[in-house]
Amino acid sequence: MKLDRRHLLATAAALPLASQAASPMGPVGTLRAPGLKEGDTLGLISPANATFEREPLQIAIESLQALGFKVKLGQHVRARHGHLGGTDAQRAGDLNAMFADPNVQGVIALTGGSGGTRMLPLVDYAQIRRTPKFFGGFSDLTALVNAIHQQTGLITFHSPMAGSEWNAFSVEHFKALVMRGESPLLRNPQRELGDHLVQTQWRTQTLRSGKARGPLVGGNLTVLTAMAGSAYWPRFPGAILFLEDVNEYIYRVDRMLSTLRLTGALSQVAGVVLGQFTNCNPGEGHGTLTLDEVFDEYLLPLNVPVYRGAMVGHIKRKFTLPVGAVAEVDADAGTLQMLHPSVS
């Protein structure tokens, strides 16, 4: 009964959108924001945790300026409500105001943390459909990047946040997708040996061979499963699901993958890309399966291409992934090929 209700909610949320049949530029009904360019204004908002010190905000502003953007601060970007960057209404209000402001070309989150799911019902999705703009972030922003795409069709971006480390790797991948409108092949760095005989970092592992195409959905596993059963839950049929997490005991990763299986989401996907599961370990005193065993038990029975180790997650160097854009996963090569531009 609950599963039927979930499908009804997802269907109701999709009514304003056209059918999701494939087209050369992606699913019909997909919205693409104009690509960002130097001199554009980015709205900087704090939809998750509060920032308690002045310096992190200043570094974030300077980082966006170094990328060539002007920066407009959300009215409540310095607000605090407990651990959150303001009340739910304040945080959603800043997001809505940035999408309504004709002088703002894109919106980016300051930092992650928690709280994004609380504000989903307060977002003005009709306004976003009228004025599609770049929107990006990761971690807790998994809630907003998936909800906005689900409710509006807008391709959003699982990208560095303003407060992230903007190193050369992350900057190049961000610019390729968001500013230059390219359709890049996303592949981990090759042959970074350092003092080792073989590569020991950023390796990929093929769990099940093959290639598959579909729209990208996913992000942080914890946040994604917290959305289960809601009208903001992504569409999984035929999708390429990407997942990452940080600081979770393995038994919790197991439980969250079980949630994805129980909702029927896992059985519907065309392929799976596992990013970095940083500091996900058994925990002191916990006997548990290994991550290898957990991933094998949940994902191998799907009989779809799966690879592990993509540079997605709570790491310094990271890909930017367009949620809703069509990509081809090659699990043997450990790559994601974007099949069309993610911005107009």
pLDDT 10s digits, 322-343: 999 999 999 999 999 999 999 9
3-state SS class at 45: strand
Residue 265 has pLDDT above 70, yes or no: yes
Residue 199 has pLDDT above 90, yes or no: no
CA dist 304 and 89 (Å) reads 41
In this predicted model, which residue has the larger pLDDT, 271 or 13? 271
The answer as to whether 121 is a domain residue is yes
Question: Average pLDDT, stretch 18-31?
Answer: 52
User: ∠ at Cα 273 (304, 331), nearest 5°?
Assistant: 60
148, 261: one domain? no
155, 222: one domain? no
Query: pLDDT band at residue 15, thresholds of 50, 70 and 90?
Result: very low
Whether the CB-CB separation of 183 and 174 falls below 8 Å is answered with no
- Cβ count near 93 (within 10 Å): 20
The answer as to whether 262 is a domain residue is yes
Residue 203 has pLDDT above 80, yes or no: yes
pLDDT of res. 273: 98
Listed residue (209, 3, 162) closest to 67, CA to CA: 162
Residue 1 has pLDDT above 50, yes or no: no
Residue 8 has pLDDT above 80, yes or no: no
Q: Final residue of a domain: which of 129, 148, 179?
A: 179
**Which listed residue (159, 314, 328, 342) is catalytic?**
314
Counting Cβ atoms within 10 Å, is residue 186 exposed (0-12), middle (13-18) or buried (19+)?
Answer: buried
196, 277: one domain? yes
Q: Final residue of a domain: which of 161, 179, 197?
A: 179
pLDDT of res. 200: 80
191, 107: one domain? no
Q: Is 192 a catalytic residue?
A: no
Which pair of tokens denotes residue 115? Answer: 């709280």
Number of domains in the chain: 2
User: ∠ at Cα 45 (41, 46), nearest 5°?
Assistant: 160
Amino acid at 296: D
Q: Is 314 a catalytic residue?
A: yes
Lowest average pLDDT, out of 16-30, 125-139, 144-158, 304-318, goes to: 16-30
The answer as to whether 5 is a domain residue is no
Q: Is 244 a catalytic residue?
A: yes
170, 24: one domain? yes
Three-state SS string over 78-146 comes to CCCECCECCCHHHHHHHHHHHHHCCCCCEEEECCCCCCHHHHHHHCCHHHHHHCCCEEEECHHHHHHHH
The answer as to whether 10 is a domain residue is no
Query: pLDDT band at residue 244, thresholds of 50, 70 and 90?
Result: very high
Residue 208, beta-bridge partner list: 306
pLDDT of res. 134: 98
pLDDT of res. 17: 32
In this predicted model, which residue has the larger pLDDT, 24 or 225? 225
Domain range for 196: 185-338
CATH at 46:
3.40.50.10740
169, 232: one domain? no
Question: Average pLDDT, stretch 148-159?
Answer: 98
The answer as to whether 291 is a domain residue is yes
Q: Final residue of a domain: which of 179, 196, 215?
A: 179
pLDDT of res. 11: 37
146, 292: one domain? no
Listed residue (211, 187, 207, 210) closest to 199, CA to CA: 187
106, 213: one domain? no
CA dist 162 and 48 (Å) reads 13
Rounded to two decimals, the pTM is 0.90
**Which listed residue (158, 244, 248, 342) is catalytic?**
244
The answer as to whether 75 is a domain residue is yes
80, 190: one domain? no
106, 36: one domain? yes
The answer as to whether 13 is a domain residue is no
194, 268: one domain? yes
153, 232: one domain? no
CATH at 324:
3.50.30.60
The answer as to whether 8 is a domain residue is no
Residue 20 has pLDDT above 50, yes or no: no
pLDDT of res. 28: 54
Mean pLDDT of the chain: 91
